[in-house]
């Protein structure tokens, strides 16, 4: 993990990410003069970093179009691939620009003539819009990819929620828009709890929640992103609690059942010590003042918050992190990659694909497996294949790392 410098001093990037409140004043000064920070992944050629403000804190992000110039082991390295958001397609639901992301969701953040019935899906965007719309899951995945949370750079450091928060907000951008409105007014990424910052964290969150109101005719909704801690029964239905704050968000058994079916791998992993389950929840306030979940997306992650599609992938990701490998977890955010692997080892030459086969026997799965195997053979791409039915993870042989980054 590289060092970064601003305000006349040099710091470890991990310290900035995990403890953003400690550096707020210094980053504020650097944002004014000289207007940027520096990444020292290339000591002979430091790269500029954008300083972005979201709420009361400041976060670092890569300079526009400079991602390929960072080293392979740098958190700010970014190339355009299948994990990238929509590029130059102006009609795409999720756009990325120098001022941040511009997102059009298929869920409405303003519900007119709201009723007491929550419904599992928010109303769609107004008619006549030329841009496509994105689901909550697509937005959650794009946030992960844009913040480079699907990459691991061989660090010996753990990735906690403080770093997740910083990387998400750095990638989102301080001038980001969601459905045409400021993201800062409609999306709150939960902060890591710090006793020394308790009052500031609570005050900031309370201000955000105050923007969610319902007068019986218009319901102004908002999005909250955090790690699921508990799904529990209540006297009138269900509730969801995020690990970052003991606040209950009420919902219906119908919505919970739908989420458990739609996001099965993630839902079954809630409470698993080796995994994390993150959620993007759409909430509104009931006429009585309670906070209610009207829609959500859930995503399974490894212990280091790398996105995964199964618990077998979680196990592989955890092993790669423990062995300090440099790798990516590709995310299919657009069409175009016909042999997208489960993981890509970047510390071998050439890069090595890793496939985790956990659905053996299904005809469509076996057909797709064979198709990808043939494509790799033709292209000469090395691959490690783990058949979860035939061998234990510790028996899988990985190629030795050829460089430490």
User: What is the C-alpha separation between 26 and 49, in angstroms, rounded?
Assistant: 15
pTM score, two decimals?
0.89
pLDDT given at position 69: 93
- Domain residue limits, the chain: 3-69, 94-302, 338-395
pLDDT given at position 88: 54
- Helix/strand/coil (H, E, C) string of the chain? CCEEEECCEEEEHHHHHHCHHHHHHHHHHHHHCCCCEEECCCCCCCEEEEEEEECCEEEEEECCCCHHHCCCCCCCCCCCCCCCCCCCCCCCCEEEECCEEEECECCCCEEECCCCCCCCCCCCCCCCCCCCCECHHHHHHHHHHHCCCCEEECCCCCCCHHHHHHHHHHHHCCCCEECCEEHHHHEEECCCCCHHHHHHHHHHHHHHHHCCCECCCEEECEEEEEEEEEEEECCCCEEEEECCEEEEEEECHHHHHHHHHHCHHHHHCCCCCCEEEEEEEEEEECCCCCEEEEEEEEEEEECCCCECCCHHHHHHHHHHHHCCCEEECCCCCCCCCCCCCCEEECCCCCCEEEEEECCCCCHHHHHHHHHHHHHHHHHCCCEEEEECCCCCHHHCCCCCCCCCC
User: What is the C-alpha separation between 366 and 372, in angstroms, rounded?
Assistant: 10
User: What is the C-alpha separation between 134 and 323, in angstroms, rounded?
Assistant: 36
Cβ contact 224:247 at 8 Å: no
User: What is the C-alpha separation between 273 and 396, in angstroms, rounded?
Assistant: 23
Cβ contact 102:186 at 8 Å: no
Dihedral sign of CA atoms 2, 323, 244, 257 in order? positive
Between helix 161-172 and helix 136-146 the angle, nearest 10°, is 100
Cβ contact 341:396 at 8 Å: no
Cβ contact 47:69 at 8 Å: yes
pLDDT given at position 111: 87
pLDDT given at position 116: 44
Q: Mean pLDDT per segment of 10 residues, for the chain of length 405 residues?
A: 92 90 94 96 94 90 90 80 54 88 95 56 47 95 95 85 93 93 95 88 93 90 97 95 93 98 97 97 92 97 97 97 95 68 95 90 81 89 94 97 67
């Amino acid at each position: 993990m590289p060092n970064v410098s601003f305000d006349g001093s040099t710091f470890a990037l991990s310290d900035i990410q995990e403890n953003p409140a400690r550096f707020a004043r210094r980053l504020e000064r650097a944002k004014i003069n000289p207007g940027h920070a520096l990444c020292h992944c290339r000591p002979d050629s430091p790269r500029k970093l954008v300083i972005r403000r979201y709420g009361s804190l400041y976060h670092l992000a890569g300079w526009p179009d400079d991602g390929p110039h960072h080293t392979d082991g740098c958190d700010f390295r970014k190339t355009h691939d299948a994990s990238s958001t929509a590029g130059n397609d102006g009609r795409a639901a999720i756009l990325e620009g120098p001022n941040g992301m511009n997102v059009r969701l298929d869920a409405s953040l303003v519900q007119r003539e709201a009723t007491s019935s929550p419904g599992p899906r928010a109303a769609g965007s107004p008619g006549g819009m030329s841009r496509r719309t994105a689901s909550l899951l697509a937005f959650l995945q794009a946030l992960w990819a844009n913040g480079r949370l699907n990459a691991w750079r061989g660090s010996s450091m753990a990735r906690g929620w403080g770093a997740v928060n910083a990387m998400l907000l750095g990638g989102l951008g301080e001038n980001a828009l969601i459905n045409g409105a400021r993201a800062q007014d409609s999306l709150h990424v939960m902060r890591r709890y710090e006793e020394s910052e308790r009052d500031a964290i609570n005050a900031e969150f309370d201000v955000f929640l105050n923007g969610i109101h319902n007068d019986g005719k218009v319901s102004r909704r908002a999005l909250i992103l955090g790690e699921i801690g508990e799904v529990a029964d209540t006297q009138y239905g269900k509730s969801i609690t995020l690990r970052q704050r003991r606040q209950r968000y009420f919902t219906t058994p119908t919505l919970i059942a739908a989420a458990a079916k739609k996001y099965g791998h993630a839902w079954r992993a809630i409470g698993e010590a080796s995994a994390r389950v993150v959620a993007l929840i759409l909430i509104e306030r009931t006429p009585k003042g309670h906070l209610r979940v009207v829609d959500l997306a859930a995503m399974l992650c490894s212990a280091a918050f790398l996105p995964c599609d199964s618990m077998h992938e979680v196990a592989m990701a955890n092993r790669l992190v423990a062995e300090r490998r440099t790798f990516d977890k590709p995310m299919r955010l657009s069409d175009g990659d016909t042999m997208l692997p489960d993981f890509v080892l970047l510390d071998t030459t050439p890069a090595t694909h890793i496939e985790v086969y956990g659905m053996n026997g299904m005809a469509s799965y076996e057909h797709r497996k064979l198709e990808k195997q043939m494509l790799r053979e033709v292209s000469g791409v090395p691959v490690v294949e783990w058949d979860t039915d035939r061998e234990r993870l510790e028996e899988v042989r990985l190629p030795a790392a050829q460089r430490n980054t």
